[in-house]
């Protein structure tokens, strides 16, 4: 007997989302971001599916990139944070990785390195995120040093990252676009700025490369409806099943700490899913859950292996009935908002205990 909790991964939804990104930025090359185990979906499986459909992939670090190479992924892979030690550079060059240069130390490591062959470089410029990147006033100097060192394959890609592109009315994105364009004016080479929200909603920022991540997995980065984001299809649907149904008298409490109390005679379904399976412990009473395709409400504290759901207002519910925690019919973003977090975190924290089951409708 198999425990019914699983993350179903719809590859046709992934294909749809890639096609949408292509449609929105038809002149740009597409880099699929598969860091953090492809946002919890499985890096190797998703990279294999993406490789023939994208122009490159991106990860956070060498360890993630090497996993993909060892699995037979051959396309270019960008290290979004660059290298953390000079000793990584020959390995990255040999493996055909592209590196990000975002500070003087990384640039000096490259200038001093002995490499088996030239390496692709992305020069990151800090236009307002203030985490990583050369200052706008350093852009020309860094660019010239990259050209002069003789170790860079082709022209560097000039890139930046948006801090607030998911806020549709925040003027910071326009300010970053203008600063980026001013800092790179007169420099030859491709440009890249668009993450998922910018791919969806800021077409001026598409430039030569787009870098969608979260949107590829079919989830909106916006807290409000957005025309293009509403066309996305979720790749992951987290599912389980009812394992118990019981009647609760008015005034009775459910779960650890009795955080939910029945205000009327109630019917409560127990579902075999919990924070050990990636469902957030911080999900509050009232968080939506789909039981037999109908909305019900979380009732009581999330435990490691189980949740309880108020199904009083639903048609009769029985052991074995299907439950959707997020995905098709219920966005991970909505669950995240009830949990005090964002959908990115819920997906990337999905543990290996939860089996991934591939579908291709």
CA distances from 330 to 110, 288, 289, 323, 361 (A): 47, 8, 8, 11, 18
Given the residues 35, 39, 151, 275, select the one marked as catalytic. Answer: 35
- Please report which residue ranges of 120-240 form alpha helices under DSSP H: 139-148, 172-184, 196-201
How far is the C-alpha of 45 from the C-alpha of 39, rounded, in Å?
A: 12
Give the sign of the dihedral formed by CA 280, CA 306, CA 41, CA 15: negative
User: What backbone torsions phi and psi does residue 13 show, to the nearest 5 degrees?
Assistant: -65, -40
Residue 298 tokens read as: 């979380």
Q: How far is CA 121 from CA 110, 183, 310, 312, in A?
A: 10, 18, 54, 58
Nearest residue to 234 (alpha-carbon basis) of 248, 249, 214, 252: 214
Reported as half-sphere exposure (CB side, CA atoms, 13 A), residue 224 has a value of 6
Contact 152, 146 (CB under 8 A): yes
The one catalytic residue among 39, 117, 256, 279: 256
Report how far apart, in Å, the C-alpha atoms of 128 and of each of 160, 215, 344 are.
Answer: 9, 22, 21
Whether 256 is catalytic: yes
Whether residue 35 lies in the annotated active site: yes
Among all residues, which ones are annotated catalytic? Answer: 35, 256
């Amino acid at each position: 007997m198999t425990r019914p909790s699983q993350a179903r991964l719809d590859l046709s939804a992934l294909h749809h989302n890639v096609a949408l990104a292509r449609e929105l930025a038809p002149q740009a090359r597409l880099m699929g971001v598969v860091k953090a185990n492809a946002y919890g979906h499985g890096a190797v499986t998703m990279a294999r599916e993406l490789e023939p459909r994208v122009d490159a992939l991106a990860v956070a670090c060498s360890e993630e990139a090497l996993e993909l190479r060892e699995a037979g992924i051959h396309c270019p892979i960008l290290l979004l944070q660059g290298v953390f030690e000079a000793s990584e550079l020959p390995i990255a060059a040999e493996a055909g990785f592209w590196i990000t240069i975002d500070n003087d130390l990384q640039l000096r490591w490259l200038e001093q390195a002995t490499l088996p062959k030239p390496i692709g470089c992305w020069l990151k410029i800090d236009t307002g995120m203030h985490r990583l990147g050369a200052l706008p006033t350093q852009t020309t100097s860094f660019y010239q040093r990259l050209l002069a060192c003789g170790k860079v394959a082709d022209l560097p890609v000039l890139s930046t990252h948006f801090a607030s592109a998911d806020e549709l009315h925040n003027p910071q994105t326009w300010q970053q676009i203008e600063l980026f364009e001013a800092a790179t004016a007169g420099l030859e080479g491709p440009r890249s700025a668009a993450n998922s929200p910018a791919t969806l909603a800021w077409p001026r920022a598409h430039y030569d490369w787009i870098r969608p991540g979260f949107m590829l997995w079919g989830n909106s980065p916006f807290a409000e409806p957005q025309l293009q984001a509403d066309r996305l299809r979720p790749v992951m649907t987290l599912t389980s099943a009812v394992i118990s149904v019981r009647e609760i008298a008015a005034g009775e409490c459910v779960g650890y700490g009795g955080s939910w109390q029945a205000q009327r005679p109630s019917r409560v379904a127990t579902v075999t899913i919990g924070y050990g399976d990636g469902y957030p412990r911080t999900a509050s009473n009232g968080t939506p859950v789909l039981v037999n395709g109908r909305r019900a409400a979380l009732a009581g504290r999330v435990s490691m292996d189980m949740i309880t759901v108020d199904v009083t207002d639903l048609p009769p519910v029985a052991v074995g009935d299907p439950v959707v925690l997020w995905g098709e019919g219920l966005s991970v973003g909505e669950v995240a908002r009830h949990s005090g977090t964002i959908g990115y975190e819920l997906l990337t924290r999905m543990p290996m205990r939860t089996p991934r089951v591939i579908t291709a409708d």
